Chains A and B, each alone.
Chain A
């Protein structure tokens, strides 16, 4: 039997998890195709190979439907980053992340990084309603209020944008709290991990708000993981003193 041709082997894997209908497919589609279009509920899973500089990053879009839940840990195996996605208009979708999806990440890399992403921000945040096309960055709100800066006053639930919007919106601080619990679950020290305000995003696949930022932040963060994987693959018994890397987080001080 002839060997099936191997595909371009990705250097690193990023997995998008989250309940059905939170917009995982739409996010990936917005990022890769720069469009928002109708989706059908994902069956099984799909992935996209992204060329990031000299690296190939595979981004897995998983199915949120309960039926496919069992496949999740397989997708997560060896993942360098996991995007835990909820729907900012659905409290339940945030709760599901902790109840159903967090345990799937047990198979991910030990140094896997986690991002908490509240999608459909266009439904709650006026800033997310502007088209965030990179060609016209001027439209994307004042640069001073960077999206990662935790807003001093959370989106007031009392002023919903449309009268019919669901009442149980999820605020940023709840996402940040979940992030803290994810770290605890992973047995990670909050002090030495990436801070919540860097790893919690509110996005809109519909307008593109923060979508590039999300993916590109993650790609930049997983680069060290790629480099390590590459050196592991060509591991030699000789210790390379030149290549020695200081473990992150511990900086050599003066005396």
Chain B
């Protein structure tokens, strides 16, 4: 409980009213602007001027000045007083008589002549219509409970007379009445009811024993009443008899009640209770001795004890809300704020509401209720920097942000909030991480993008959060100047490099990373940092950087480093890519890398450029030569590996400068195979084979040479045959006496292995006489089989071609299946004589000719060409008539 919603301020003290006369009591009050009228039980009306004056404490005080007092002369208490300010009249009920008194002089108004007078007799109670139906401003409407049984009268009151409008009877005796428009709300003996005095329609509200407990009927607004209900309730009812607000639970013995939005104020004998209409809760309760009257006048709640008058001054809404907030009563504060919405101008409400939401958020935040806090921050559109500024050092010093004033929360910073509890600090930080993550990129945080990103970066770095790199890899607005010391402090050098990159300082990033990779700085974020740098350079479009930092990468590991050049995009768009020539020059100092790069160019990208091929061949050769010379003997296999590479290149490439290489090999007897290849490239096959056969005596290589050297030739088979014959001749041509046998064996082997590739006739003519048939059996077998095979294959091919040709002709004929017209009037295309019978031959193109003419023609051409191009013999034996018919159809 305990919101301070109202303050009880004395207005007229006992002294001013009755001094020390103990018997005199206040009976009724009326307040109209600054004028306060008090009716007493000794038949006096006291008239005061009530001025509001500010008190030292910031609230207000009242100073009352007595203007006059008037004895009405009836010796009875003044029962009720109502002001009709437009008429300048007070309506007074005293001793069962209702009459008018001048507001200024308090003189009783004499009745106007000729009218019904200005008095109503036999009145027990009356009320004014809060929602008059008469449009005349110079009259008021009142409802009167008459002392005659079960009668209610409605009057119009003028300056000097009253006029009966309507009289209605009720089922039971009414005790209290209230009037709104045409609706009388009445407390009867056993129930409340609503009665439309013009139509007579009535609506029972609910039972209430008016004899047991004092009924209350209080008009609180347009067609809405507040009623005392059984069980100590304040019930709301509208003119239709419907309750639109939940009841408040005040007490069983309420004397008077009023509404001062959003509160229901009720007076009991010893206290005032204040309930909110918004949540029905009791919000404040004030002690008040001898409570007697509670009434509201134009929104001002005035109370009286039997001896004095007070005003219940509402505290400003904002103060009430702040009170609630300072008691951490977030929900209530919000209900109050939102409930007051209709009473506050729109824009002011929005500002207020937002602020309350933000404060509510910080209260929840202070209690580490992060989910609730986040929701309030979101709804309250909190400037996220308010939150960031709670965390020491997170806001960049360059930020223009200053905390909102008055402050939204009492916390100096996070340490103040957590009171040294590190666990709390940590939880708050985790919350901020998730909160910033959620607002990042939203429209609401646009203005503070830099602060948000920078704070996130710092938190990630400090918490060793995996999202640090994601943040830096994405589009971000982290401030470099502020973040870099922070990242350094937390040894996040890799991340710092990324941040440099985001700020377009790739060079700085590289320098930093290189220092980490070299172990000068410690950051284990990426164990593969070296590879990362290489990768970075590989895809770096800035060639300056590439030239500048590749050196370092190549030195560290040429094999990996060279990827900077080899893995660069080799796509079509070569603009912005380094020229291979430049790269080669650049790599001069890094020969292993240069070799790899050349291999990449020549073997992978297959760039057809003499320079690269020659250079690569030379490099390979130099490698072999150095291995051959090798002061430290090379590892086993190394030499052969190097030679194989060289040989492969020499064999496969046609672009290198053969003479250059030959020149370099001059005088090196160990590279005969390579030399043979080079001679082969020059098509100097004799020399090549000579080297292989006579110097190397490597017959299998010689044989392989023949196959290789002919394979690149355009006339492969013919060339191969020629080379094989050349080799055979070389074998048979002899050499040193002691090798003759060997060579002959090689010749036999060659023949037997490649029988089908030789020109058998030519072989037979060069073979020595003495060789046995047995020796050459495989060769001969192969030769004969090859020959037979060739003959059969070609015949087969011929047959197939013919069949195909026939098929095609057939298809063609079918395509143009038109009847062929033969008639006595048409001539043969060959002899130009007319046809006499339907037997004709049709040439392609549906040209009919005489059978004998084509036979003649064929035998002629058969003599000239061997090609068999006989036209298909198609005889259209259909009778002429029929053909003509068909043609008619087409």
Query: Which residues of A does B touch, CB under 8 Å?
Result: 1-7, 9-10, 43-47, 63, 65, 67-68, 70-71, 73-75, 77-78, 107
Contact = CB atoms under 8 A, between A and B. Distances in A.
Interface string B324-348: 0000000000000000011100000
Interface stretch (B148-156, B242-250, B428-436): B242-250
Nearest to B205: A74
Closest A-B pairs by Cβ, 3 of them: A5-B342, A44-B247, A4-B221
Interface stretch (B231-239, B452-460, B592-600): B231-239
A45 B233 CA distance: 10
Contacts of A7: 244-245
B299 interface: yes
B314 to A, nearest CB: 12
B41 interface: no
A10 B230 CA distance: 26
Nearest to B235: A71
A77 B241 contact: yes
B197 interface: no
B801 to A, nearest CB: 75
Contact of A1 (B205, B245, B299): B299
Interface string B277-289: 0001000000000
B130 interface: yes
Given A44-B233, A74-B237, A1 B242 contact: no
A3 B343 CA distance: 10
Nearest to B247: A44
Contact of A75 (B230, B240, B243): B243
B230 A68 contact: yes
B240 A70 contact: no
B861 to A, nearest CB: 90
B298 interface: yes
B310 interface: no
Contact of B231 (A2, A9, A44): A44
15 contacts: A1-B297, A4-B221, A5-B343, A6-B221, A10-B244, A44-B235, A45-B243, A47-B246, A68-B230, A68-B233, A71-B206, A71-B230, A71-B247, A74-B241, A74-B243
Contacts of A5: 261, 341-343
B355 to A, nearest CB: 21
A78 B237 CA distance: 13
A60 to B, nearest CB: 8
B785 to A, nearest CB: 79
A240 B48 CA distance: 62
Contact of A45 (B205, B246, B259, B342): B246
Contacts, number: 80
Contacts of A68: 229-231, 233
B86 to A, nearest CB: 15
Nearest to B278: A7
A77 B208 CA distance: 18
B124 to A, nearest CB: 24
Given A4-B224, A4-B259, A74-B206, A43 B231 contact: yes
B523 interface: no
A47 B236 CA distance: 13
Given A5-B343, A7-B245, A74 B240 contact: no
Interface in B722-741: none
B116 interface: no
Contacts of A78: 240, 242
A40 to B, nearest CB: 11
Nearest to B209: A70
B296 interface: yes
Interface string B198-210: 0000001111100
B242 A4 contact: no
B873 interface: no
Contacts of B299: 1-2
Given A5-B261, A77-B240, A77-B242, A44 B229 contact: yes
A77 B235 CA distance: 14
A107 B204 CA distance: 10
Nearest to A107: B241
Nearest to A65: B231
B222 interface: yes
B220 interface: yes
A68 B231 CA distance: 7
Given A68-B229, A74-B241, 13 more contacts: A1-B296, A1-B299, A4-B221, A4-B261, A44-B231, A44-B248, A44-B249, A65-B231, A68-B233, A70-B207, A75-B243, A78-B242, A107-B241
A74 B194 CA distance: 12
Interface in B265-298: 280, 296-298
Nearest to B226: A4
B220 A4 contact: yes
Contacts of A74: 205-206, 235, 237, 241-243
B224 A67 contact: no
Contact of B249 (A4, A43, A73): A43
A8 B230 CA distance: 27
A65 B204 CA distance: 21
Contact of B233 (A6, A9, A43, A47): A43
B222 A3 contact: yes
Contacts of A9: 244
Nearest to B224: A4
A73 B229 CA distance: 13
Nearest to A58: B244
Contacts of B298: 1-2
Contacts of B245: 7
Contact of A3 (B221, B229, B237, B247): B221
Contacts of B240: 77-78
B130 to A, nearest CB: 7
A219 to B, nearest CB: 19
A9 B222 CA distance: 14
Contacts of B220: 4
Contacts of A77: 240-243
A194 to B, nearest CB: 25
Nearest to A4: B221
Nearest to B207: A70
Contacts of B205: 74
B741 to A, nearest CB: 93
Contacts of A6: 221, 342
Contacts of B244: 7, 9-10
A80 to B, nearest CB: 12
Q: From B205, B231, B241, B297, name the one whose CB has the most chain A CB atoms within 10 angstroms.
A: B231
Nearest to A43: B249
A47 B130 CA distance: 28
A245 B62 CA distance: 64
B249 A71 contact: no
Nearest to B237: A74
A14 B727 CA distance: 112
A177 B222 CA distance: 44
Given A1-B299, A5-B261, A70 B249 contact: no
Contact of A44 (B221, B222, B246, B296): B246
A107 B241 CA distance: 10
Interface string B505-529: 0000000000000000000000000
Contacts of A71: 206, 229-230, 233, 235, 243, 247
Contacts of B343: 5
A10 B246 CA distance: 13
A94 B163 CA distance: 56
Contacts of B242: 74, 77-78
A2 B299 CA distance: 6
A91 to B, nearest CB: 27
Contacts of B248: 44
A70 B213 CA distance: 15
Given A45-B246, A46-B246, A46-B280, A70 B208 contact: yes
A65 B240 CA distance: 25
A75 to B, nearest CB: 6
A88 to B, nearest CB: 28
A71 B233 CA distance: 10
